[in-house]
């Protein structure tokens, strides 16, 4: 089965381990419809051999709906959900990292609570990814202290809240988020750490198929953003869809996320808008999977 690993939705790990963190209405250009997407996850989990484990997050509604279809019973569940085998507790977002506890019963049915697992990443999705990594290590017999140390030392990957520059006490970041779940998670994490700072999202919609199928979800995911600058849609090879209207899309975001929006046509307009409107102590986050990274990094020279 073809698996897209870029968003961490599901991936195949060494030693016959599989991890499923979430199922979203994503990549429907490939799967054609949600039913096919759902079936691919069921097939993926059922392929986990008896010598391995399928590690599944219970926090996602769509995952919980498919549990009855999974024949493979060699699974481990995790998440904030109270029914999870590994329960995530006390998530705390710090300025440049996140800490959380992980509670579970060991093989002897003794309750274990691992406190203050630390990762240099923000957002609930990164907590879920870090938890899954810890669970894999724990089940492979890796020493708990070593697993915690490895997570703490992990510096993250490029385009995941990568800081680009600071100017006039304004901080500029570049992030790969191009799906509503990712965007919402990043913005909530940043807001929790910086509740008094203004957050400006520079969002590049990615693919007509994704934006059209998730229009309502996109319109609601910017609740923690004080302002949204919307760039032209990056088609990623798809043919133009005349049903998509960028102005209507921007207005829907403003309405449902209760924020302000503006559209820029190109990199120059983005730079000029920021020059005229930025004040101080603001956080600017470029989001998207197309050329937005180039635009945000180009601000080093234009601001």
Q: 263-297 b/e with 16+ CB inside 10 Å = b?
A: ebeebeebbeebeeebeeebbbbbbbbbebbebbe
Predicted pLDDT of residue 170: 96
Give burial (CB, 10 Å; 0-12/13-18/19+) of 1: exposed
Q: Could you tell me which of 172, 168, 170, 112 has the C-alpha nearest to residue 144?
A: 112
Spell out the residues 6+ positions from residue 84 whose beta carbon is closer than 8 angstroms to its own: 58, 77, 78
Instruction: List the 75-79 sheet strands across, edge first.
Output: 10-13, 17-20, 53-57, 75-79, 86-93, 98-105, 111-119
What are the mean pLDDT values of the chain's consecutive 10-residue runs (303 residues total)?
A: 40 68 79 88 88 91 91 91 96 87 88 94 87 93 93 77 91 93 91 94 95 94 98 94 96 98 98 96 96 96 88
- Determine the Cα–Cα distance for residues 219 and 205; give it in Å rounded to an integer: 12
Q: What is the rounded distance in angstroms from the CA atom of residue 221 to the CA atom of residue 213?
A: 15
The pLDDT value given to residue 6: 41
Phi-psi sector, 174: left (phi>0), alpha (psi -120 to 50), beta: beta
Both tokens of residue 291? 């050329």
Residue 14 confidence (pLDDT): 53
Residue 115, helix vs strand vs coil: strand
Q: For residue 30, report the phi and psi dihedrals to the nearest 5 degrees.
A: -90, -45
Determine contact, residues 10/31, Cβ cutoff 8 Å: no
- CA 138, CA 133: separation in Å to the nearest integer? 9
Residue positions counted in the chain: 303
The pTM assigned to this predicted structure is 0.75
Residues facing residue 286 across a β-bridge: 174, 202
Between CA 47 and CA 45 the distance in angstroms is 5
pLDDT of residue 2: 32
Radius of gyration (C-alpha) of the chain in whole angstroms? 20
The two tokens of residue 8 are: 């961490």
């Amino acid at each position: 089965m073809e698996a897209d690993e870029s968003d961490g939705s599901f991936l195949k790990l060494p030693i016959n381990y599989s991890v499923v963190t979430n199922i979203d209405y994503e990549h429907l250009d490939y799967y054609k419809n949600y039913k096919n997407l759902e079936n691919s996850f069921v097939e993926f989990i059922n392929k986990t051999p008896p010598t391995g484990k399928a590690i599944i997050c219970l926090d996602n509604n769509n995952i919980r709906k498919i549990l009855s279809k999974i024949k493979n019973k060699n699974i481990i569940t995790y998440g904030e959900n109270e029914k999870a085998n590994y329960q995530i507790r006390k998530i705390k977002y710090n300025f440049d990292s996140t800490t959380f506890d992980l509670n579970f019963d060991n093989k002897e049915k003794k309750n274990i609570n691992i406190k203050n697992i630390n990762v240099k990443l923000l957002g609930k999705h990164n907590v879920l990814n870090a938890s899954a990594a810890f669970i894999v290590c724990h089940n492979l017999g890796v020493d708990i202290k070593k697993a915690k140390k490895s997570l703490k030392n992990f510096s993250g990957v490029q385009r995941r809240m990568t800081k680009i520059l600071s100017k006039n006490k304004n901080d500029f970041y570049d992030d790969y988020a191009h799906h509503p779940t990712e965007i919402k998670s990043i913005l909530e994490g940043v807001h929790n750490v910086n509740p008094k700072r203004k957050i400006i999202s520079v969002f590049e919609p990615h693919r007509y198929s994704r934006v059209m199928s998730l229009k309502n979800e996109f319109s609601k995911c910017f609740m923690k953003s004080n302002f949204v600058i919307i760039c032209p849609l990056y088609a990623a090879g798809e043919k133009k869809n005349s049903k998509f209207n960028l102005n209507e899309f921007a207005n829907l975001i403003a309405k449902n996320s209760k924020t302000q929006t503006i559209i820029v046509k190109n990199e120059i307009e983005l730079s000029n808008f920021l020059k005229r409107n930025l004040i101080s102590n603001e956080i600017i986050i470029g989001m998207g999977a197309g050329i937005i990274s180039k635009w945000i990094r180009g601000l080093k020279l234009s601001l």
